[in-house]
A = this chain, B = another copy of it.
């Protein structure tokens, strides 16, 4: 069954999701973005029309995917005529019910992944979390999600937000630690590349184990001597020093449990 979709937003998530759905034979009718180059770039990839004007969005799409910044919802959505069709957003922390003002048919389609325009991801392994205002819409969203992912689950708004918070730690904050590690190396002119095998192995380890089972390093060994050497090493970077102390203490205390 081939459906018609509109994408409101043309960022990282919209790009990857639209491409995945397009590859399954669905028709991407139209892409909206306030930035013309973003709209036209995605539109071209999925053989769609594009617009930068919310008033020009067609009102006959089967599903509208809202993939814009959460803070832009209240500015953009009131300008769109959704023709009472199914409107879903793709945000981790926005309640489903914010959509009830725009259509009688609404829901959430939340793929838990970090998306970039440059990197294609295989949707097959990406968990997708679904919520809808009624059984019929839920069924439709489950079917669409199951075409691209093997891991589709129904999840309410409250638990989705918890999931999003945890993902911020596991992804966004982790990436920032990679950045800090790179900055520390930069101070001695060592290239970030030396850390790449370590970073990958750290992520691979927890694919099979729980993180607490495979925790390594000075803090988990209670190696105060090394911890103090490291804190001294970071004396010129007080913010990193403080973070080192805080996280080491947390690892130490978790270990005692």
A residues near B (Cβ < 8 Å) are 12, 69-71, 93, 112-116, 118-119, 121, 125-127, 151, 153, 158-159, 161-182, 184-185, 187-188, 190, 192, 194-212, 214-221, 223-226, 229-230, 233-234, 239-240, 243-244, 246-247, 250-251, 254
Contact = CB atoms under 8 A, between A and B. Distances in A.
Contacts of A220: 172
Contact of A216 (B118, B175, B194, B209): B175
Nearest to A179: B211
Given A170-B195, A174-B202, A216-B175, A161 B210 contact: no
Nearest to A224: B71
A82 to B, nearest CB: 23
Main secondary structure of the interface of A (DSSP, over half): helix
Given A166-B184, A203-B199, A216-B114, A229 B93 contact: yes
A209 B199 CA distance: 13
A205 to B, nearest CB: 6
Contact of A223 (B69, B126, B225): B69
A162 to B, nearest CB: 5
Which of A151, A159, A208, A229 has the most B CB atoms < 10 Å from its CB? A229
19 contacts: A112-B198, A116-B205, A116-B209, A119-B204, A125-B197, A159-B188, A159-B190, A165-B230, A165-B244, A166-B181, A166-B184, A166-B195, A173-B177, A174-B178, A176-B250, A176-B251, A177-B177, A179-B210, A239-B250
A184 B169 contact: yes
Given A172-B218, A185-B162, A199 B206 contact: yes
